[in-house]
Amino acid sequence: MTGDSTAGTSTRAAAPARHRPGASPTSLLTRRGFLQAVGTLSGGLLLTWHETPVVAASTAPPGTGALLGVFVRIEPDGTTVIGARATEIGQGVKTALPMLIAEELDADWSRVRVEQLSYGITRTADGYASIYGAQGAGGSTSIPESWVELRQAGARARSLLVRAAAQQWRVPPEELATRSGVVHHPDGRTLDYGALAQRAAALPLPTSDVPLKRPQDFRLIGTRVRTVDAADIVSGRAQYGLDATLPGALVAVVERCPYFSGGLASFDASAARAVPGVRDVIALPGPRHGDPLEENLAPGVAVIARDTWSALQGRRALKVQWKQGPFASESSATLDAQCTALLKGQGRRVRDDGDFDGARAAASRVVTATYRIPYVSHSPLEPPNACVHVQPDKVTIIAPLQSPGGASRVASRITGIDRLNIAITLTRVGGGFGRRLENDFVAEAVWLSKLTGHPIKLVWTREDDLQHDWFRPFGHHELTATLDAGRQVTGWAHRLASASKYYRQADVSRDELWTAEIYPDDFPAALVPNLRYEWLEVDSGMTRGSWRAPAHTANAFAVQSFVDELAHASQQDPLALRLKLLGPGRELKYDQHGGPVFHTGRLAEVLRRAARAIGWGREPGANRGLGLAAHFTFGGYAAHAIEVEVDRAGDYRIARCICVADVGRPVNLLGLEAQMMGGTLDGLSTARRLEIEIAGGRVVTKNFNDYPLMRMSEAPDVEVIIVPSERDPSGAGEIGLPTAAPALTNALFAATGKRIRALPIHGKAA
């Protein structure tokens, strides 16, 4: 396959098209007080699909309003109810996606109520199809996938209201206008949406697209809108998965095999069964070594009890013997040694432009550096949990999910029950970061409900979560650059030895493992005439998966650290070198997720703005340093500029932190700024002290005492700058993270002269 190159030839290993995680279907959930669900609502948002779960002792009454499509219900008093389809994991889509509908509907946002939809599918000739469109959360896709689709849903609902008013007034619809939930006639007559809703609902919904607003007419999109359920969150009324229950549910906790691909040898449950409140102790099956991980991660022993405390005490009383499995000798040290050995050989060349070997032979100077990225955990504030009831002909699931489609499939696979009879209620999620794209915890709850015949509330502890995660992959990055006599970069090689995140996945072949680790079109591809990207496979028993901004979090640290090293080695300004490499603003082909193009000018602009905001070029003073980094992630452009101060003991503080982002046209400025702040703090926290340690073929990191997240007192104020844009929006959930770590370590180098090539920093800068 031929790719873009500034000189010579270009070859790239073809990256197979991969399903983007997080896109899956839905159905309506109405909430009133404690999570309550209504299925076939007469006058509700849901058209109809199947019986929904009973979440509490009673259910909310059906809505009395009129349906205008599947997302909009208008009540007689004029309240507009909008369904939020995507799972809300803190990224703000429960607010932003309804804003798209409300904008084109011309609804009065002060009279809008947002209700979380539950998961909904219908049967088609080819299998199953979504009722509501993409309902998952992953890959920063929610906004770009919904940008036209949900605005069109709002516009079609608005067209029904205009036609209804036209019928009532006996005038052409073209004469009428709408604003803030009211239809206006040129002669001054008005009709509130509530008065028109029943007549509008009787009209046929348009089957083809209707005209959308011109961007200059937007009244809601691009403004700052508060999170729709912020008051519930801060007051404790918001219901997360861990708050949910089912009538008659028993609580389950699981003692899981700690060894990678290990097994259960034996267990003695007599002491556990003697604990008051314990009802049962059950062996939970696990995958065989080498088989795809399609259900639960590991074999275990489950303690079933009347409450969480009894279940935990029963688990503590268990006596279990485990089989170690084939990775008994794996440790953090052996993984480092494996990477070092691999990088002495040759791997799979996934892109090879020009003649890198020739450029190296002819170079006036060659610069090489190696960077280490550790295994890290997602550690969301809300650990995995699920409420499940398996009955002979149906399954009820209430859980904090990122992939409800995956939960539906795994439940069907375990039970044999048709997916149309698997009802999934989506709760607000206490953090995801990619962890809940996997549904191993749902599989455990389904198995236990099936085996016991009872509704099961499965609870994980923090220790469970840290030791049985789908970890961000470990790896060593070796980067080499060649320079000519004029200090021009003539060649670039990025060689990565890593454990692929595509671990034991049924639909991924050995030849595809590299596609999750190194992206052939990433910077500086097509910007350096002789360029080579190469991947070498690390053998590891650790479960791996998607971690916020997947490979970008690791690769941006290595690449942006190396650009800084290259600038200092060649006595060039780090900002000037970055801008020189990017060159004039233009679009380059980008085949990976976030494409189809990468615009060099947009990345250069966020860099310039970040540099300007931090005062790049000034002398910051003794023991202070400035650092920069910029990266393209999933269609968005972000840069960080950080100023640090280091004391004599080597401790440092972040004096200023700037984050600049260009994600196209902002939908909710307040939510976008929050995402940039959150991503920045996540990136800094991970870089400072976080590493999952391995010894004896198991995770030895146990809790936050040895996996210390950044404290509030350590966190800087993050100054966010959003680049104005009229382009269609990209997502933002992962954009702000990748460049935080390299900007920090580059600043620490500027302050101390010490180059940090291995993460985490472990708190000391010198």
Report yes or no: 710 and 688 within 8 Å, Cβ to Cβ: yes
Nearest 10 degrees: CA dihedral of 315, 320, 325, 331? 60
Closest among 593, 731, 733, 728 to 148, alpha carbons compared:
728
Q: Which residues contact 520 (CB under 8 A, 6 or more apart)?
A: 3, 12, 13, 15, 350, 351, 533, 591, 592
Strands 652-662 and 718-722: parallel
Residue tagged 């109405």 (tokens): 30
Distance from C-alpha of 717 to C-alpha of 738, rounded to nearest angstrom: 18
Nearest 10 degrees: CA dihedral of 82, 87, 91, 94? 10
Q: In the beta sheet, which residues pair with residue 366? A: 482
Q: Could you tell me how far CA 661 lies from the centroid of its own chain?
A: 17
Q: Could you tell me how far CA 486 lies from the centroid of its own chain?
A: 43
Report yes or no: 351 and 484 within 8 Å, Cβ to Cβ: no
Angle between helix 404-415 and 440-452 (nearest 10): 30
Angle between helix 740-752 and 669-689 (nearest 10): 50
CA atoms within 13 A on the CB side of 408: 28
* CA dihedral over 714, 719, 723, 729, signed as positive or negative: positive
Kindly state the helix (H) or strand (E) to which residue 270 belongs, with its residue range. Answer: helix 270-273
Structural tokens at position 372:
């280490």
Closest among 589, 593, 605, 665 to 634, alpha carbons compared:
593
Q: Could you tell me how far CA 329 lies from the centroid of its own chain?
A: 32
Classify residue 758 by its DSSP letter.
Answer: B
Helix extents (H) in 170-269: 193-201, 230-235
Q: CA end-to-end span of the chain, whole Å?
A: 46
Residue tagged 């920093």 (tokens): 761
Query: Which amino acid is it at 566?
Result: L
Name all domains of the chain by residue range, CATH numbers in brackets. Answer: 27-118+136-235 (3.30.365.10), 241-326+384-459 (3.30.365.10), 332-376+470-752 (3.30.365.10)
Report yes or no: 560 and 578 within 8 Å, Cβ to Cβ: no
Q: Which residues of 555-584 are buried (b: 16+ CB within 10 A; e: fewer)?
A: bbbbbbbbbbbbbbbbebebbebbbebbee
Q: Which residues of 468-488 are buried (b: 16+ CB within 10 A; e: fewer)?
A: bbbbbbbbbbbbbbbbeeebe
Closest among 598, 563, 484, 569 to 530, alpha carbons compared:
484
Kindly state the helix (H) or strand (E) to which residue 443 belongs, with its residue range. Answer: helix 440-452
Q: Could you tell me how far CA 511 lies from the centroid of its own chain?
A: 25
Query: Which amino acid is it at 464?
Result: D
Distance from C-alpha of 739 to C-alpha of 612, rounded to nearest angstrom: 17
Distance from C-alpha of 718 to C-alpha of 642, rounded to nearest angstrom: 10
Angle between helix 574-582 and 550-569 (nearest 10): 120
pLDDT at 602: 98
Closest among 644, 640, 551 to 594, alpha carbons compared:
551
Report yes or no: 684 and 740 within 8 Å, Cβ to Cβ: yes
Query: Which amino acid is it at 458?
Result: L
Distance from C-alpha of 532 to C-alpha of 47, rounded to nearest angstrom: 53
Query: Which amino acid is it at 436?
Result: R
Distance from C-alpha of 49 to C-alpha of 122, rounded to nearest angstrom: 7
Classify residue 711 by its DSSP letter.
Answer: P
pLDDT at 31: 30
Mean pLDDT by 10 residues, the chain (766 residues): 37 48 34 28 28 30 77 96 96 98 98 97 94 96 97 98 98 97 97 97 94 97 97 95 97 98 97 98 93 95 98 98 96 98 98 98 98 98 98 98 98 98 98 97 98 98 98 98 97 98 94 97 98 98 97 98 98 98 98 98 98 97 97 98 95 97 98 98 98 98 96 96 97 97 98 97 71
Structural tokens at position 684:
């800094």
Residue tagged 């580059």 (tokens): 746
Structural tokens at position 161:
């209201």
What does 561-626 look like in DSSP terms, one character per residue? Answer: HHHHHHHHHTT--HHHHHHHHH-SS-EEE--STT-SEEEHHHHHHHHHHHHHHHTTTS---TTEEE
Distance from C-alpha of 595 to C-alpha of 588, rounded to nearest angstrom: 9
